[in-house]
Amino acid sequence: MLAIVLFSGQFKKLLRIPWRVWATVFAAAVLIAVNWGTYIVAVNSDHVADAALGYFINPLVSVLLGVFFLAERLRPLQWLSVGIAVVAVAVLTVDLGHPPVISLALAFSFGFYGLLKKRVPLTPMISLTCETLCIAPVAIVYLLILGQRHEGTFTTEGIGHTLLLMTAGIVTAVPLLLFGYAAQQISLTSLGMLQYLTPVLQMLWAVFVTQESFSLGRWLGFIIIWISVGFFVTDLALISRKRAHRVRAASS
């Protein structure tokens, strides 16, 4: 990220960022680090279901943050969509069988991350670069500690493993960069509801690729989520059509 900023001639913008903006960026960096750290711990400690539930709760958190902090207003059909999503999350939580601590940590950390991304007055590229710079020292220290304990695997498991870890960084950075662009273009409410694509795609992967088994409660939750997203997308389509009619009427 820093190399791209340097070669694109935007490095001077980094030097001109006010300290208050840096504070916001640092907070965003901490939130995304907590989010990814929690996700990694969850996956590696056999709490995949908790992590999946977190991605279902996260859109609701984003919607609520948009309403209460950004004064975004929901139309009736959107409120219906959110209400249906709440039912789906309740079904999935009951199916989980224990308090969703990990799920809530994932949902709220990324929800507030999205809120800060809407408020930070920087381009997505500059913002993500600054976030990386804020977290890099902690990551480097952690890697050094792993090296001292002979627990690091970056250079000890072959070139394939090394390339896979490097690719993981790119695969992580690109969605965050696109998320930053989206956060500046659409409401936090719409951004939140669109994030249901992530767990739905994960479900399809689990069913058709890894062939995991799903409980009846999990399937019921997914179906209700699809209904919720369907209502929300329908509302967006209706509003878009109305705006198109107004434009044509004004130009005729």
> Per the structure, how many domains does the chain have?
1
What is the Cα–Cα distance from 129 to 131, expressed in whole angstroms? 5
pLDDT digits (tens, 9 = 90+) for 10-38: 777 777 888 999 999 999 999 999 999 99
For residue 60, pLDDT beyond 90:
no
- At residue 1 the predicted structure's pLDDT band, cuts being 50, 70 and 90, is low
Tokens of 93: 């939580």
Alpha carbon of residue 194 to chain centroid: 10
pLDDT at 160: 83
Q: What is the pLDDT of residue 234?
A: 87
Residues 75-91 pLDDT 10s: 888 899 889 988 988 88
Residue 8: the pLDDT is 67
Distance in Å from the first CA to the final CA of the chain: 47
Residues of the chain with pLDDT > 70: what percent? 96
Domain that holds residue 73: 2-251
pLDDT for 115 beyond 90: yes
Structure tokens at 98: 């224990």
- Chain length of the chain: 252
Does pTM surpass 0.75?
A: yes
Whether residue 129 contacts residue 2, with contact meaning beta carbons closer than 8 Å, is answered with yes
Determine the residue type at 238.
L
Check pLDDT > 80 for residue 9: no
CB 57 within 8 A of CB 100: yes
Closest by Cα among 109, 112, 108, 96 to 50: 96
Q: What is the DSSP string of 83-113?
A: HHHHHHHHHHHHHH-S--HHHHHHHHHHHHH
pLDDT for 25 equals: 92
Supply the pLDDT for residue 175.
85
Residue whose token pair is 């950075």: 173
Predicted confidence at residue 109, as pLDDT, reads 95
Confidence of residue 156 (pLDDT cuts 50, 70, 90): confident
